[in-house]
Amino acid sequence: MLSLPIQFSKLLKRFLLLTIFTLFTTLAHAEKVYKLKLAETWGPNFPIFGDASKNMATMAEKMSNGRLKIIIHSSNKHKSPFGIFDMVKSGQYDLGHSASYYWKGKVPATMYFTTMPFGMIASEQYAWFYHGGGMELMNELYGKYNLMSFPGGNTSNQMGGWFQKEINSVADLKGLKMRIPGFAGEVLAKLGAKPTNIPPGELYTSLERGTIDALEWVGPSLDLRMGFHKIAPFYYTGWHEPAAELQFLVNKKKFEKLPADLQEILRISMKASAFDMYIQSTHESAKNWSTMTSEYPNIKVKTFPKEVMTALQNANDTLLKEHAAADPFAAKVLKSQHAYLKQARQWTNMSDKAYLDSTAR
Amino acid sequence: MLSLPIQFSKLLKRFLLLTIFTLFTTLAHAEKVYKLKLAETWGPNFPIFGDASKNMATMAEKMSNGRLKIIIHSSNKHKSPFGIFDMVKSGQYDLGHSASYYWKGKVPATMYFTTMPFGMIASEQYAWFYHGGGMELMNELYGKYNLMSFPGGNTSNQMGGWFQKEINSVADLKGLKMRIPGFAGEVLAKLGAKPTNIPPGELYTSLERGTIDALEWVGPSLDLRMGFHKIAPFYYTGWHEPAAELQFLVNKKKFEKLPADLQEILRISMKASAFDMYIQSTHESAKNWSTMTSEYPNIKVKTFPKEVMTALQNANDTLLKEHAAADPFAAKVLKSQHAYLKQARQWTNMSDKAYLDSTAR
């Protein structure tokens, strides 16, 4: 009878070891914390744009009960605001928050996934991304670089910029020194303007001292703090960035290593944060415009005359035709966007636009 | 020396029991599945509206790794499409998907959280909800009934409806038999129209046989399948539901019993699904309008003349003044909405509207 307890004790020991092993495996699985590092183009505490990645990280951490932690490095930390594409591609960072059109020098067709002059407004562009093939095209392109790309927050329609003088004809654009970077600058250059790029910190002084005649930044949401309304009388409505969408970049291999639930948490956090930023931009623009006009009631909101708009549209068409001829992928994206815009704009015109037109008192 | 193994064996047993207990507690906590029942106003597989709750449930289940399961009952199951408020309040259901303005007979001020004639468009209204105090007002009201309310998906701007005859003056509205339920019907009645409500299944025949002269439903997204474009020549642009937002209702006590991570998963799933439905509605409207016009190229899109719009606006103002005088909470919501609309519309007009106006070719 003495042998039985001993045998039983051995069995107990074995069972105990197995139980402890199972317990630790379970705990390790349940509590494993995945830390992802995100590099953003913006400086620390940059309003609205910077809120988008913070908001995303907070949602992801709360929804995962702390299992998914996203550590954000602003440009003061990584010193490479326009190196996000490369740093996420290489795996130096797991995630990025930037804008797709910053990579046009590297991969030209990335440009079309931010916004295009005379292109879609935010509701149309989101419909194109999620239902019109936009996401598929974007990820076909980024997939070649071990990257995934997701909408990262919309600025809403951007203003055409602050001008010292009225623009009454295409002739008024000749020699106009304007801070307007990227593709929109190329369009303006076709009409004789002199587009330049100037660091943000020098913009106010450049406009005040006449180094430049005009500049575009974003819209009231971010223009207010720059103070341009204090030194330029004309605020032109937009044509060049009707729906600038920022971008979340994700290292594909890192994404695939996450458990399925955390992949979904990351995906939905990015999507919800992009939408939140669009709505925040709408709110901040409305609020800040109200502040600007109450302090400076003489700001004149102007729209370029029909002649100028037509010339800009034609210059834009010409440039896009050149792009399409040079790059089959660009041709594919442009074809998709043009077809979608044509269909979506009919609906916009008979819904929101007809409503705004007919209910104006 | 014999006593030691026995003591050790006792300790082992105790430790074993404790370990097993801890293991099961951990597993139970990690794997506890919370099942929530959702009742929706819509019938099974109702397009777009029904997709919103399915989409929400799928996101919640994936993000929670199966710990949050939402079981959806359509109206064929619970037999009470307009009983959602009561069923979620009482706890018979944990969640609901419906529209806030269905409860105006019960709690009049719930009406303002869907959309209002001559009110905000979708981008403005989302900004009001999330940044202009809308969510706080909505939950102050619903909180009195053990309920929480969240945006549940936007139809985008709704069309003014299908008409057999053109409306050229206010006189043309006199005696007009139109299916247009709710507050918008009250506004039309002020101008002499005869608003009626007719079950959806009888609408087509009623319009075809002249039992009614006109009807409004939603917009191309849901009108296409109803077939109205085959039997009525005029499609009027909207004035009465510029941004109809559906609603997720949540039983407050049930929500509070969820662990914090699942609360956040539920909250973000509802938010993302509301946004998704807005974009899906935009897409489906554009696509279906294209289908309608390719099959029936003679549909005439019309806007009510200025005289009619002004009369409708005045009737609307009069009714809202009556509401505000009768109900202090209504007065509070209307004041908040009017102030927000005034500020937001200035921005809409100088951004999206100016862009659409000036870039039309």
pLDDT of residue A2: 43
Nearest to A95 by CA among A224, A262, A219: A262
Task: Strands of chain A (E only): list them.
Answer: 34-40, 68-73, 95-98, 147-154, 161-163, 177-179, 194-196, 214-215, 234-236, 245-251, 300-302
> How close B352 comes to chain A (CA, Å)?
6
CA–CA gap between residue A357 and residue B316 (Å, rounded): 18
Of A276, A280, A303, the CB nearest to B358: A303
Residue A3 burial (CB < 10 Å; 0-12/13-18/19+)? exposed
Residue limits of CATH 3.40.190.10 in chain B: 158-240+297-326
pLDDT of residue B338: 98
Distances (CA, A) of B257 to B67, B86, B270: 14, 20, 18
Contact B67, B262 (CB under 8 A): yes
Under CATH, which number does the domain B158-240+297-326 receive?
3.40.190.10
Adjacent-strand bridge partners of B301: B235
Residue limits of CATH 3.40.190.170 in chain B: 32-153+243-283
pLDDT of residue B18: 67
Task: Strands of B234-325 (E only): list them.
Answer: 234-236, 245-251, 300-302
Residues B303-327 have a mean pLDDT of 98
Q: Does A275 touch chain B (CB under 8 A)?
A: yes
Question: pLDDT exceeding 70 applies to what percent of chain B?
Answer: 92
Q: Which long-range CB contacts under 8 A does A3-6 form with residues at least 24 apart?
A: A5/B6, A5/B9, A6/B5
**Is A359 within 8 Å of B313 when comparing Cβ atoms?**
yes
Flag whether pLDDT at B214 surpasses 80.
yes
> How close A100 comes to chain B (CA, Å)?
21
| B130 neighbourhood in chain A, CB within 8 Å | 276, 279-280, 283
pLDDT of residue A31: 76
Please give the helix or strand (H or E) that residue B100 lies within, else none. Answer: none
pLDDT of residue B31: 76
With the C-alpha atoms ordered A40, A46, A52, A58, is the resulting torsion angle positive or negative? positive
pLDDT of residue B244: 98
User: What does pTM read for this prediction?
Assistant: 0.93
pLDDT of residue B27: 58
Interface of A with B in 251-270 (CB under 8 A): 259-261, 264-265, 268-269
pLDDT band at B28 (very low <50, low <70, confident <90, very high): low
Flag whether pLDDT at B24 surpasses 70.
no
**Is B352 within 8 Å of A280 when comparing Cβ atoms?**
no
Residue limits of CATH 3.40.190.10 in chain A: 161-242+300-341
Secondary-structure class of domain A161-242+300-341 per CATH: alpha beta
pLDDT of residue B283: 98
Chain A: residue whose CA lies nearest to B282: A127
Architecture of domain B32-153+243-283: 3-Layer(aba) Sandwich (3.40)
Contact B46, B153 (CB under 8 A): no
Beta-carbon contacts of residue A25 (< 8 Å; ≥ 6 apart): none
Flag whether pLDDT at B2 surpasses 60.
no
Buried b (16+ CB within 10 A) or exposed e, A283-318: bbbbbbbbebbeeeeebebbbbbeebbebbbebbee
**Is A351 within 8 Å of B275 when comparing Cβ atoms?**
no
Contact A104, A111 (CB under 8 A): yes
Flag whether pLDDT at B4 surpasses 50.
no
**Is A260 within 8 Å of B65 when comparing Cβ atoms?**
yes
Averaged over successive runs of 10 residues, the pLDDT of chain A (361 residues) comes to: 52 65 58 96 97 98 98 98 98 98 96 98 98 98 98 98 98 98 95 94 97 98 97 98 98 98 98 98 98 96 98 98 97 98 98 97 82
**Strand B234-236, strand B194-196: pairing:** unpaired
* Range in A329-333, B13-17, B172-176 the model is least confident about: B13-17
* Range in A332-346, B14-28, B86-100, B165-179 the model is least confident about: B14-28
What are the start-end ranges of the H helices in A91-197?
122-131, 134-143, 182-190
Flag whether pLDDT at B1 surpasses 80.
no
User: Which one has a higher pLDDT value, B217 or B7?
Assistant: B217
Residue limits of CATH 3.40.190.170 in chain A: 30-154+244-283
Residues B221-244 have a mean pLDDT of 98
**Strand A177-179, strand A147-154: pairing:** unpaired
Nearest to B187 by CA among B327, B320, B8: B320
Of B269, B347, B361, the CB nearest to A313: B361
DSSP code of residue B146: T
Nearest to A85 by CA among A169, A137, A153, A144: A144
Give A254-320 as a DSSP string: HHHHS-HHHHHHHHHHHHHHHHHHHHHHHHHHHHHHHHHHHH-TT-EEE---HHHHHHHHHHHHHHH
Whether domain A30-154+244-283 has CATH 3.40.190.170: yes
State the angle between helix axes of A260-295 and B260-295 in degrees (0 to 180), rounded to the nearest 10. 80
Interface of B with A in 154-213 (CB under 8 A): 156-157, 159
Token pair 């409505």 in the structure block, residue: A237
CA–CA gap between residue B139 and residue B145 (Å, rounded): 10
Of A122, A279, A350, the CB nearest to B237: A350
With the C-alpha atoms ordered B56, B60, B61, B63, is the resulting torsion angle positive or negative? positive
Maximal C-alpha separation, chain A: 110
Please give the helix or strand (H or E) that residue B256 lies within, else none. Answer: helix B252-257
Helix, strand, coil shares of chain A, percent, nearest 5, are 60, 15, 25
